[in-house]
Structure 1
Amino acid sequence: MSFTLKGLAASLALVAASVFTSGASAADKVVLQIDGNVVPFYAPLYAGVENGFFADQDIEVEFLYGGASDILTNIAAGNVDFGFPNGDAVVAAASNGLPIKVVHTTYQRGIGALLAKSESGIKTYADLKGKTVAVTSLGSPNYLQLQVGLAKAGLSVDDVKVEVVSSGAIVQTLQSDDVDAIIFSELRKYALEANGFDVTMILSNDFLPSFGNVLVTSAENLADNPDLVKRMTNAVSASYQWVIDGHIDDALKISMDKYTPTWVEQTAMLSTAFENTFVASVWQSDLTKEKGLGAADLDAWQNNIDILSEYDVISGGVKAADFVVDPSDIK
């Protein structure tokens, strides 16, 4: 039997390719549905993809976007693998029996806030009586915050006119005086001030201690794929830690270059917001310094549940331990 050098080379190449393929592990493809729209506030996640932090965990992630209530419905139904909704919406979903699990408490406190022009005279929730207030949806966390804030002031949603406005347009409705106040994110105060508006802000976290965006999956996914969930939490932590460790402007550049180019003129404002709010007190807490990013404070979660139950925003009965998991406990 003749055996040419050319044939030998081809055979060796085929064997080498076979060994390489069998030794490599294909990345797990996951869908992460994020609350809202494509905005630079999610720059750590975008930077995590571009810097390979998800790839380091053998994960290929696809970003989708939607409202918090839709995200949680999709998670429970298995339509998406992971979600990144606001914590208040998660509590509401859990109280309704959706089989969801918080696996990474990414935002250690809520960032919801009432924003109004100072000239409006609105300084407290009591001042909202008879006013027009915008929220992004009646299933949104900011609507829950509005309900509790009004209740603490002895009012209800019947005492105000509620307008539903998309997250992409809600700030503009305040700027143009189409509404008297908005319940949205405290981060938008920086944008309003940069545009020359003097703004009054009431932080929702002051009367409703809660959480901003958190990583969520289904109870079934956590039970069946704990290794994947653990690797996903590792990738999220690495992405946010990189930004915390002095890379705010680098993360924003990645976001502007590849994800949110229409925000480029607001980069300086965003850098200030990241430094003074996100890095200072949202992504980090005394607990994360002890247990790492994403750590779960079950007592704080339960306090949020109890307040929402007290004001009949949600039905009682659900316990934080039923749906909140500390990343360190995922094995």
Structure 2
Amino acid sequence: MIQFRVTTAASLLALLTSPFFASIAAAADKVVLQIDGAAAPFYAPLYAGVDKGIFEKNGIEVEFIYAAAADILTNIAAGNVDFGFPNGDAVVAAAANGLPVKVVHTTYQRGIGALLAKGSSGIKTYKDLKGKKIAVTSLASPNYLQLQVGLKQAGLSLDDVSVEVVATGAIVQSLQAGQVDAIVFSELRKYNLEADGTKVTMILSNDFLPSFGNVVVTSSKKLSANPDLVKRFTTAVTQSYEWVIDGHIGDALDISLAKYTPTWPKDQKAILTTAFEQTFVPSVWQSALTKQKGLGAADLAAWQKNADILAQYKVIDSAPKAADFVVDPSTIGK
């Protein structure tokens, strides 16, 4: 045991300002955040939060790793990672299967999934997909769930289409090259297609399946055992997104492209800026609810509606109660 003898106020001050105590004060909780898909500039607020010291200010050191949404939730439930950033639909499916996961920050207030097709394809509604080849990134992906619901609402099933699994980095190119007739992926990729001169037909999944995009999740055990850590983490996430919203889109993208997604084409910054300005900032990260309660606020009624629709269309066997797996960040630690 290390013992210290303090005889005067001056010696106490010297001790507290010594490198030894400074190193203790600077110690941060190391956490692993597993993000849906692969490293991409769309996660720039999180990368910027680390680079600008926002997480550090909240006493947290973050390691980013990546996986499919279903794998993230399995890892969260097993305690293999501390936090996850999967799509909301996948969280509902995980909760329906009894996994002990908790949404602690509804970062994306709406879903960004969409069916994209070339304007020349003649595909204007889900009914037009009969006999067509549709690409998704994984049969465990949220977009695959959205495809199933969209088809069922149109009176079709998976038997009426041909589903192709195409990697995240190649799915847009598969549409451009005519290898598939449509993709169910992210509405943000519309900007890439249009920049290349492709006229795009887009059907937003959120129009028929109100849902959420990426959200912060942790395990029930971690939330219960260490609410302070969860609170500090969600606070850092909120502050990171606020920094970007408050006039730092370009700065955040520069950080992402230089340090976290270096293989992403640098000439895509203009397209990404447009996506952030026209989609992310006004209607994905912010909503009427966040104006009242702050970023990450949880709309339990909307979450329940999402779960009920997935159950209605037999994507999941039964709808879990939103209150059992969704937590508003303002209530953490109270």
Q: TM-score, normalised by structure 2?
A: 0.93
- Give, in whole Å, the separation in 2 of the partners of 1:327 and 1:268: 33
Structure 1 counterpart SS, 2:289: helix
Amino acid at match of 1:327: P
**Aligned twin of 1:6:** none
**Aligned twin of 2:167:** 166
Query: How far is 1:330 from its partner?
Result: 0.2
Please, which of 280, 283, 286 is the counterpart of residue 281 of structure 1?
Answer: 283
Structure 1 counterpart SS, 2:123: coil
- Paired residues of 2:308 and 2:319 also in contact (CA < 8 A): no
Structure 2 counterpart SS, 1:24: helix
Equivalent pairs: percent with the same residue?
Answer: 74
**Aligned twin of 1:87:** 88
Please, which of 319, 322, 327 is the counterpart of residue 320 of structure 1?
Answer: 322
**Aligned twin of 1:231:** 232
- Paired residues of 1:40 and 1:263 also in contact (CA < 8 A): no
Amino acid at match of 2:106: T
Amino acid at match of 1:166: A
**Aligned twin of 2:311:** 309
Amino acid at match of 1:282: V
Structure 2 counterpart SS, 1:29: strand
**Aligned twin of 2:266:** 264
- Give, in whole Å, the separation in 2 of the partners of 1:19 and 1:180: 63
In 2 relative to 1, CA 155–15 (structure 1 residues): closer, same or farther, beyond 3 Å?
closer
Paired residue total: 320
In 2 relative to 1, CA 61–163 (structure 1 residues): closer, same or farther, beyond 3 Å?
same
Query: How far is 1:17 from its partner?
Result: 3.9
**Aligned twin of 2:10:** none
Amino acid at match of 2:52: N
**Aligned twin of 1:254:** 255
- Give, in whole Å, the separation in 2 of the partners of 1:46 and 1:209: 28
- Paired residues of 2:307 and 2:319 also in contact (CA < 8 A): no
Structure 2 counterpart SS, 1:65: strand
- Give, in whole Å, the separation in 2 of the partners of 1:288 and 1:253: 26
Query: How far is 1:263 from its partner?
Result: 2.6
Query: How far is 1:317 from its partner?
Result: 4.1
- Give, in whole Å, the separation in 2 of the partners of 1:202 and 1:253: 30
Deviations 1:107-164 (A, max 9, x none): 0000000000010000000000000000111111000000000000000011000001
- Paired residues of 1:288 and 1:295 also in contact (CA < 8 A): yes
Query: How far is 1:166 from its partner?
Result: 1.0
- Give, in whole Å, the separation in 1 of the partners of 2:198 and 2:19: 64
**Aligned twin of 1:182:** 183
Amino acid at match of 2:267: E
Amino acid at match of 1:300: A
Deviations 1:194-249 (A, max 9, x none): 01100000000000000000000000000000000000000000000011111111
Equivalences for residues 194-209 of structure 1 within 5 A? 194-209=195-210
- Give, in whole Å, the separation in 2 of the partners of 1:18 and 1:131: 66
- Paired residues of 1:84 and 1:214 also in contact (CA < 8 A): yes
Structure 1 counterpart SS, 2:135: strand
Query: How far is 1:15 from its partner?
Result: 9.0
Amino acid at match of 1:148: V
Query: How far is 1:168 from its partner?
Result: 1.0
- Give, in whole Å, the separation in 2 of the partners of 1:283 and 1:293: 7
Gaps of 5+ in 1: 1-11
Query: How far is 1:16 from its partner?
Result: 6.2
Structure 1 counterpart SS, 2:34: strand
- Give, in whole Å, the separation in 1 of the partners of 2:19 and 2:178: 66
- Give, in whole Å, the separation in 1 of the partners of 2:24 and 2:224: 27
Gaps of 5+ in 2: 1-12
Deviations 1:21-44 (A, max 9, x none): 575251000000000111100000
Amino acid at match of 1:146: L
Amino acid at match of 2:314: D
Worse overlay, 254-263 or 60-69: 254-263
In 2 relative to 1, CA 319–246 (structure 1 residues): closer, same or farther, beyond 3 Å?
same
- Paired residues of 1:31 and 1:61 also in contact (CA < 8 A): yes
Query: How far is 1:18 from its partner?
Result: 6.7
Q: TM-score, normalised by structure 1?
A: 0.94
**Aligned twin of 1:3:** none
- Give, in whole Å, the separation in 1 of the partners of 2:15 and 2:86: 47
Amino acid at match of 1:59: I
In 2 relative to 1, CA 23–128 (structure 1 residues): closer, same or farther, beyond 3 Å?
closer
Worse overlay, 312-321 or 201-210: 312-321
**Aligned twin of 2:301:** 299
Amino acid at match of 1:263: P
Query: How far is 1:292 from its partner?
Result: 0.3
RMSD: 1.5
In 2 relative to 1, CA 120–230 (structure 1 residues): closer, same or farther, beyond 3 Å?
same
